[in-house]
């Protein structure tokens, strides 16, 4: 028996008031639609069909993958109309799982349970009880025996918020936008949908009443949490869901022993692997793939993306680390910041110190090297124990090409030096402050390139010439 999945992603998302299609808005660094696709990936569907329409080119480009097929819905006449577009791709013998592209956090286990509840013969709806159900389709129950919803009355249908009577609006059990249906019957019901409602749309939830009329059993599964079924229709709902998701990630990290100063001020937009005794102060933002070794401490207000930070390293407040595609590596026991910037290809050895307003890009620093203040190291190979003075920079770019600077072990570069690459400073060399170094400096010697200091004994300060009247 086949399992097909349809994800509806054609709507405009008017309430987002954005030019970006709603399903491409980000939650924790990934689009809403990517979350849905990831959460159903493990179901092993025979087909995954994404219905696109508004902003279709952008949506399709954003989630294109070999296992995903797209159908276009033009114009967008409602969720029932959306699934009609996918119907020709669905296998008659089997189950179709339908999801809203704007309900991102559906748990894989919940989706699997719904498919099982359908079993290729029943219509299975995922529902949830909400304190504030406004905006959602209400589950209308009641059966010939006259039992009410609370008494477990059978599902009769779903009524959209806009079409609901005042009494129906009091119903707190809502449809989550996720259903599993026997595919052949679903196709029949889709063909019978009408658009006689407040919005003049073909509503997918109307298949429920058609199933009831057909004598097909309608069963409901309850979502395990509200969070997994909340839909995103507005910036407010997006921000609310983001906080819930972040809190869940923060809780998982804390359960694994990570010490977060405040789980409400923590953002992870990717993956974070932590060793033991990791401490993270407030307002940390972690993106892409970040690895923190044992005992790493992250100060307040750091933004860290695609980086590996080894055991015992200390990242002081307001440090920005962005490894982009190349990554950044910080060695064991290193200290970085406050106010430091590590860019792609920065590789800091053990015990390296990088201080305030120091930028490091595509450079390797040997064990114990220090650049403590106001400096730039780009395309440089820096030896062990080098001391790189305040205000010094590598001039690595000649306007057309990048060149390397090689600094041997134990070199001291004074303050305010310009190292014009390509250039090599031999091991143990000392560079006098204020020098512009454009030729190699020999090992073990002092190299200075600034003009000799001189003093003029008879020099007088200019004075103002009185104006003649
Ligand atoms: C929908 C349900 C509602 C349910 C809620 C759960 C309908 C009519 N109502 O309401 O019962 O409680 O989800 O979150 O289905 N879409 C299309 N084509 C269209 C219209 C929408 O692909 O023509 C897509 C949207 O991109 C979105 C999803 O379907 O991903 C849901 O559409 P939306 O307009 O947000 O429906 P809701 O009003 O939230
Ligand atoms: Ca919605």
Nearest ligand 1 atom to alpha carbon 11: 26
Q: Which residue has the tokens 């040997």?
A: 366
Cβ of 316: how many Cβ atoms within 10 Å? 21
Question: Does the structure show a pLDDT above 80 at 233?
Answer: yes
Confidence of residue 469 (pLDDT cuts 50, 70, 90): confident
Catalytic residue among 91, 161, 320, 373: 373
pLDDT at 333: 98
Instruction: List the beta strands (DSSP E) in 34-154.
Output: 47-52, 68-72, 94-100, 123-129, 138-141
Residues 343-391 pLDDT 10s? 999 999 999 999 999 999 999 999 999 999 999 999 999 999 999 999 9
Cα(320) to ligand 1 centroid in Å equals: 40
Burial of 24 (0-12, 13-18, 19+ CB in 10 A): buried
Query: Ligand 1 pocket test: which of 78, 100, 203 has the largest number of ligand atoms within 8 Å of its C-beta?
Result: 100
Would the CB of 216 count as within 6 Å of ligand 1?
A: no
CATH of residue 426's domain is 2.160.10.10
Residues 35-74 pLDDT 10s? 999 999 999 999 999 999 999 999 999 999 999 999 999 9
Claim to verify: residue 275 and residue 372 sit in the same structural domain: yes
What average pLDDT does range 332-339 have in this prediction?
Answer: 98
- Tell whether 205 is covered by a domain: yes
CATH of residue 183's domain is 3.90.550.10
What average pLDDT does range 169-182 have in this prediction?
Answer: 97
Claim to verify: residue 224 and residue 286 sit in the same structural domain: no
Claim to verify: residue 270 and residue 391 sit in the same structural domain: yes
- Tell whether 456 is covered by a domain: no
- Tell whether 139 is covered by a domain: yes
Residues 426-443 pLDDT 10s? 999 999 999 999 999 999
Tokens at residue 287, please? 């993106």
Please provide the DSSP assignment of 1-21 as one string.
Answer: -EEEEEEEE----GGG--SS-
- Tell whether 452 is covered by a domain: no
How far is residue 308 CA from its own chain's centroid?
18
Claim to verify: residue 284 and residue 220 sit in the same structural domain: no
Burial of 258 (0-12, 13-18, 19+ CB in 10 A): buried
pLDDT at 142: 87
In this structure, which ligand is nearest to the CA of 177? 1
pLDDT at 145: 60
In this structure, which ligand is nearest to the CA of 59? 1
Instruction: List the beta strands (DSSP E) in 66-154.
Output: 68-72, 94-100, 123-129, 138-141
Tokens at residue 191, please? 């063909």
Instruction: For ligand 1, atom 22, name the residue with the nearest CA.
Output: 10
Question: Does the structure show a pLDDT above 80 at 417?
Answer: yes
Measuring CA to CA, which residue among 250, 267, 270, 276 is closest to residue 303?
Answer: 267
Surrounding ion ligand 2 within 5 Å at CB are: 102, 231, 233
Would the CB of 204 count as within 6 Å of ligand 1?
A: yes
Confidence of residue 194 (pLDDT cuts 50, 70, 90): very high
Would the CB of 120 count as within 6 Å of ligand 1?
A: no
Q: What percent of the chain has pLDDT over 90?
A: 96
Tokens at residue 95, please? 């189950």
Question: Does the structure show a pLDDT above 90 at 209?
Answer: yes
Question: Does the structure show a pLDDT above 90 at 144?
Answer: no
Give the separation between CA 27 and CA 298, rounded to whole angstroms. Answer: 23
Instruction: For ligand 1, atom 33, name the residue with the nearest CA.
Output: 11
Q: Report the domain count for the chain.
A: 2
Instruction: For ligand 1, atom 31, name the residue with the nearest CA.
Output: 100
How far is residue 57 CA from its own chain's centroid?
22
Give the separation between CA 180 and CA 124, rounded to whole angstroms. Answer: 5
Give the separation between CA 120 and CA 106, rounded to whole angstroms. Answer: 21
Confidence of residue 136 (pLDDT cuts 50, 70, 90): very high
Claim to verify: residue 294 and residue 184 sit in the same structural domain: no
Alpha helices in 155-270 (DSSP H): 166-169, 183-191, 207-214, 235-255
Confidence of residue 242 (pLDDT cuts 50, 70, 90): very high
Query: Ligand 1 pocket test: which of 83, 229, 231, 232 has the largest number of ligand atoms within 8 Å of its C-beta?
Result: 231
- Tell whether 394 is covered by a domain: yes
Average pLDDT, the chain: 96
Cα(28) to ligand 1 centroid in Å equals: 22
Residue 218 vs residues 57, 123, 152: alpha-carbon distances, Å: 36, 5, 13
Claim to verify: residue 225 and residue 264 sit in the same structural domain: no
In what helix (H) or strand (E) does residue 454 lie, and over which residues does it extend? none
Confidence of residue 468 (pLDDT cuts 50, 70, 90): confident
Give the separation between CA 52 and CA 277, rounded to whole angstroms. Answer: 46
What average pLDDT does range 137-161 have in this prediction?
Answer: 81
End-to-end C-alpha distance for the chain, whole angstroms: 108
- Tell whether 457 is covered by a domain: no
Residue 157 vs residues 220, 348, 401, 430: alpha-carbon distances, Å: 12, 63, 68, 83
Confidence of residue 153 (pLDDT cuts 50, 70, 90): confident
Name the 3-class secondary structure at 376. strand
What average pLDDT does range 395-411 have in this prediction?
Answer: 95
In this structure, which ligand is nearest to the CA of 136? 1
Would the CB of 321 count as within 6 Å of ligand 1?
A: no
Please provide the DSSP assignment of 147-202 as one string.
Answer: --TTTTPPEEEEE-GGG--HHHHT--EEEEEEEEEEHHHHHHHHHT----STT---
Instruction: For ligand 1, atom 13, name the residue with the nearest CA.
Output: 177
- Tell whether 246 is covered by a domain: no
Tokens at residue 245, please? 């998701």
Claim to verify: residue 89 and residue 192 sit in the same structural domain: yes
Would the CB of 280 count as within 6 Å of ligand 1?
A: no
Least confident of 9-18, 135-144, 312-321, 328-337: 135-144
Q: Is this model's pTM higher than 0.95 or not?
A: no
- Tell whether 204 is covered by a domain: yes
Domain boundary pick from 214, 229, 244: 229
Cα(199) to ligand 1 centroid in Å equals: 12
pLDDT at 149: 55
Give the separation between CA 22 and CA 11, rounded to whole angstroms. Answer: 8
Claim to verify: residue 155 and residue 278 sit in the same structural domain: no
Please say whether the beta carbons of 111 and 24 come within 8 A.
no
Confidence of residue 147 (pLDDT cuts 50, 70, 90): low
Query: Ligand 1 pocket test: which of 11, 80, 164 has the largest number of ligand atoms within 8 Å of its C-beta?
Result: 11
Q: Which residue has the tokens 């493990």?
A: 42
**Residue span of the structural domain in which 308 resides:** 259-447
Give the separation between CA 56 and CA 51, rounded to whole angstroms. Answer: 9
Claim to verify: residue 216 and residue 302 sit in the same structural domain: no
Residue 348, strand partner residues: 330, 365
Question: Does the structure show a pLDDT above 80 at 244?
Answer: yes
Claim to verify: residue 224 and residue 273 sit in the same structural domain: no
Name the 3-class secondary structure at 109. helix
Active site residue 373: yes
Claim to verify: residue 151 and residue 298 sit in the same structural domain: no
Claim to verify: residue 225 and residue 263 sit in the same structural domain: no
pLDDT at 152: 66
Least confident of 144-153, 189-198, 458-467: 144-153
Name the 3-class secondary structure at 42. helix
């Amino acid at each position: 028996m086949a399992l097909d999945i349809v994800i509806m992603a054609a709507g405009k998302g008017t309430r987002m008031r954005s030019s970006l299609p709603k399903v491409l808005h980000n939650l924790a660094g990934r689009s809403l639609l990517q979350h849905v696709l990831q959460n159903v990936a493990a179901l092993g569907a025979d087909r995954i069909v994404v219905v696109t329409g508004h902003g279709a080119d952008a949506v399709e480009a954003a989630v294109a993958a070999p296992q995903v097929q797209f159908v276009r819905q033009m114009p967008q006449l409602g969720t029932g109309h959306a699934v009609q577009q996918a119907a020709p791709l669905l296998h008659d013998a089997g189950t179709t799982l339908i999801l809203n592209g704007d309900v991102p956090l559906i748990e894989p286990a919940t989706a699997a349970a719904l498919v099982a509840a359908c079993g290729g013969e029943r219509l299975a709806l995922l529902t949830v009880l909400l304190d504030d159900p406004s905006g959602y389709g209400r589950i209308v129950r009641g059966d010939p025996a006259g039992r009410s919803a609370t008494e477990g009355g059978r599902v009769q249908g779903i009524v959209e918020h806009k079409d609901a009577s005042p009494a129906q609006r009091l119903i707190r059990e809502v449809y989550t936008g996720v259903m599993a249906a026997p595919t052949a019957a679903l196709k029949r019901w889709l063909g019978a949908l009408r658009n006689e409602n407040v919005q003049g749309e073909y509503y997918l939830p109307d298949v429920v009443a058609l199933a009831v009329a057909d004598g097909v059993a309608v069963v409901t599964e309850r979502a395990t949490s509200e969070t997994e079924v909340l839909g995103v229709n507005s910036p407010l709902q997006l921000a609310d869901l983001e906080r819930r998701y972040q809190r869940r990630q923060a809780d998982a990290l804390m359960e694994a022993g990570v010490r977060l100063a405040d789980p409400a001020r923590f953002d992870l937009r990717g993956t974070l692997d932590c060793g033991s005794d990791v401490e993270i102060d407030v307002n940390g933002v972690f993106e892409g793939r970040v690895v923190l070794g044992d005992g790493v401490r992250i100060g307040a207000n750091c933004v860290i993306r695609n980086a590996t930070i080894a055991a015992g390293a200390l990242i002081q407040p307001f440090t920005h680390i962005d490894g982009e595609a190349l990554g950044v590596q910080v060695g064991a026991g290193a200290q970085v910041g406050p106010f430091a910037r590590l860019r792609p290809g920065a590789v800091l050895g053990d015990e390296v110190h990088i201080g305030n307003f120091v930028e490091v890009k595509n450079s390797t620093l040997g064990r114990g090297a220090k650049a403590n203040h106001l400096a730039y190291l780009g395309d440089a190979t820096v030896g062990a124990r080098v001391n790189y003075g305040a205000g010094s920079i590598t001039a690595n770019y000649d306007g057309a090409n990048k060149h390397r600077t090689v600094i041997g072990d134990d070199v001291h570069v004074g303050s305010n030096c310009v190292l014009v690459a390509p250039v090599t400073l031999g091991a143990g060399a000392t560079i006098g402050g204020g020098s512009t170094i454009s030729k190699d400096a020999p090992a073990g010697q002092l190299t200075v390139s600034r003009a000799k200091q001189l003093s003029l004994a008879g020099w007088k300060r200019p004075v103002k010439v009185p104006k003649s009247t």
